Amino acid sequence: MARKIIIDTDPGIDDAMAILFAFQAPQLEVLGLTTTFGNVSVDLATQNAIKLTEIAQVTVPVAKGVAVPSHIAPRPHPDFVHGKDGFGNINLPAPAGSAIDKSAAQFIVDTVRAFPGEVTIIALGPLGNLAKALELDPEVADLVDEVVLMGGTAIEYGNVSPVAEANIMNDPHAADKVFTAPWQVTMIGLDVTHQVLLDNDILSRIKQANPEEGGFLFDCAQYYIDFYSSRFDMNGCYFHDASTIAYVMDPSIFGVELGAVRVACEGIGIGQTIFAPQGMSFPEPHWNDVPMTQVCMEVDSEKLLTLFETTLS
């Protein structure tokens, strides 16, 4: 039986990779896309999510979500990473479809209630929609199968500060609510995504095998790869959001450690995901009685990229 998922997203080039990966995966049933601000505004994220369903020729509802962080001022959208259109400035025509008449948080609650214990939420952006869902219906945490999120870092350097990863930094208060709620959270952060390099050889082979989706991914990835190449002198890009899809398809690709995660919500360390490994005690009480998060620390890069290529081909 296919695993039921909701993808919470701010497309975003790496979001597009993840979403098309999920649409093509026979192991997964995408129940809906919920959108948030992050890589782009929530309005553009919603348009981009609808566009992805049309490129993939699937009928999946898209629900628009939060537009700004819950407590802090919004940060600028990273046009220099994803382009002003979120897809590497390839300037596709607007989608024909529209979002459903329901908020992202309400869609999450209603869908989880319809399939109790069966729905995995895959979060690819800031976590405001998940925090809002918890506010709407605190009991929903007990009914979600798992929350798998791309964000944070345990020991790797951050990418928007020395200690913070962008998705968490964009709404740290929402992230802290998600990590401390009584559901199973799996964090796929920079500790593993910085171990995987996606290059144009793989993207070219996917394009050849699957011209529609592969051609789109190849075109929009060039802007993304140019950013990484210019900043880090690498021949490709890090494999961020799509790693979550691979995890849900085959968790054996990753090695995990258990621990409590709290998020710094102010000061010089704002956005830091502070990981207290299971079995260690500290004088500070902030990690006491916090549910254990599965933090991915190891990854089989070759197996991960092979799964991505074969699924999209």
Domain annotation for the chain: domains and CATH numbers: 3-312 (3.90.245.10)
What would the pLDDT profile of 52-108 be if each residue is shown by its tens digit? 999 999 999 999 999 999 999 999 999 989 999 999 999 999 999 999 999 999 999
What would the pLDDT profile of 169-221 be if each residue is shown by its tens digit? 999 999 999 999 999 999 999 999 999 999 999 999 999 999 999 999 999 99
What six digits make up the tokens of 253?
A: 């690709």
pLDDT value of position 1: 86
Checking 71-75 for CB contacts under 8 A at 24+ apart, the result is: 71/173, 71/265, 72/171, 72/172, 72/173, 72/270, 74/37, 74/170, 75/160, 75/169, 75/170
| Cα distance between residue 105 and residue 100, in whole Å | 12
Contact assessment for residue 42 and residue 35, using Cβ atoms and an 8 Å cutoff: yes
Nearest Cα to 130, choosing from 181, 165, 166?
A: 181
pLDDT value of position 78: 93
What would the pLDDT profile of 3-56 be if each residue is shown by its tens digit? 999 999 999 999 999 999 999 999 999 999 999 999 999 999 999 999 999 999
Query: What are the start-end ranges of the H helices in 115-249?
Result: 128-136, 166-170, 172-180, 190-193, 200-209, 211-232, 242-249
pLDDT value of position 33: 98
Rg (CA), the chain: 18
For residue 38, the SS3 value is: coil
Active-site residue list: 10, 240
What would the pLDDT profile of 139-156 be if each residue is shown by its tens digit? 999 999 999 999 999 999
What six digits make up the tokens of 113?
A: 């209630």
| Cα distance between residue 36 and residue 149, in whole Å | 14
Contact assessment for residue 19 and residue 9, using Cβ atoms and an 8 Å cutoff: yes
For residue 197, the SS3 value is: strand
What six digits make up the tokens of 150?
A: 């791309």
What would the pLDDT profile of 257-277 be if each residue is shown by its tens digit? 999 999 999 999 999 999 999
| Cα distance between residue 299 and residue 252, in whole Å | 9
Read off the pTM. 0.97
| Cα distance between residue 33 and residue 129, in whole Å | 11
Band (pLDDT 50/70/90 cuts) for residue 163 is: very high
